[in-house]
């Protein structure tokens, strides 16, 4: 049973509600923690994440939620729950780390394995990119993926990010060193993509 209480988590509540064609990105609440734990504990999901341990316990999910709440209270990140816009059913998580002095941010996302191949990551990422460039006035957004994660690469490419390089064996995951692929998108590049109807 979740030991967190919504009234404690003031930072999480600062996330603005964002809408896209099919999705609702809303603040994380205590009722989401069990969904987060269950989805990330699925090895199909955790195999594609960069730092999350496996198995993933409820205690870990609660600690993550507290850390995000603290970071949001300090303005260093913003996270949302991705939901179906009609049913409000839980789909996954969307977030950005914010480096405000540098006017830079980094995207983070995952969806439940049961919701793969429906375009939800791309749709949630695009809506978040609009938010960071138009509402937060960021100069740059960046994102990475583990080299084997073709699905994440496809999301990144559909969002128009520019390939910037490979960080060789920079991530140790499940006792193996892996390459990390790095991408960036500048505000003027985002505006050019928007003019072409990609956003």
Please write the tens of the pLDDT for every residue from 10-33. 999 999 999 999 999 999 999 999
CA angle 161, 164, 167 (to 5 degrees): 125
Q: What architecture (CATH level 2) is domain 6-195?
A: 3-Layer(aba) Sandwich (3.40)
pLDDT tier for residue 1 given thresholds of 50, 70 and 90: very low
pTM summary value: 0.94
d(CA 194, CA 112): 29
pLDDT number for residue 108: 97
Q: In a 3-state reduction of DSSP, which class is residue 58?
A: helix
> Does residue 2 surpass a pLDDT of 80?
no
pLDDT tens across 41-54, in order? Answer: 999 999 899 889 99
List the chain domain ranges: 6-195
Percent helix, strand and coil across the chain, each to the nearest 5: 40, 30, 30
| Contact assessment for residue 151 and residue 48, using Cβ atoms and an 8 Å cutoff | yes
pLDDT tier for residue 89 given thresholds of 50, 70 and 90: very high
Q: In a 3-state reduction of DSSP, which class is residue 156?
A: helix
The mean pLDDT of the chain is 95
pLDDT number for residue 9: 85
By residue count, the chain amounts to: 199
pLDDT tens across 118-143, in order? Answer: 999 999 999 999 999 999 999 999 99
């Amino acid at each position: 049973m979740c030991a967190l209480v919504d009234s404690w988590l003031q930072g999480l509540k600062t996330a603005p509600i964002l809408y896209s064609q099919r999705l609702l990105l809303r603040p994380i609440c205590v009722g989401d923690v069990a969904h987060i734990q269950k989805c990330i504990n699925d090895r199909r999901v955790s195999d594609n994440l960069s730092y999350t341990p496996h198995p993933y316990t409820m205690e870990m999910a609660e600690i993550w939620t507290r850390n995000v709440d603290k970071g949001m209270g300090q303005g260093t990140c913003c996270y949302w729950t991705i939901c179906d816009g009609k049913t409000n059913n839980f789909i996954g998580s969307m977030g950005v780390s914010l480096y405000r002095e540098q006017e830079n941010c980094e995207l983070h996302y995952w969806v439940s394995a049961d919701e793969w191949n429906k375009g939800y990551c791309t749709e949630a990422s695009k809506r978040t990119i609009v938010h960071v460039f138009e509402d937060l006035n960021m100069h740059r957004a960046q994102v990475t993926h583990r080299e084997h994660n073709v699905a994440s690469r496809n999301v990144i490419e559909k969002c128009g990010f520019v390939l910037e390089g490979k960080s060789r064996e920079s991530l140790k995951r499940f006792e193996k060193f892996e390459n990390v692929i790095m991408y960036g998108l500048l505000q003027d590049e985002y505006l050019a993509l928007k003019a072409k109807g990609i956003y």
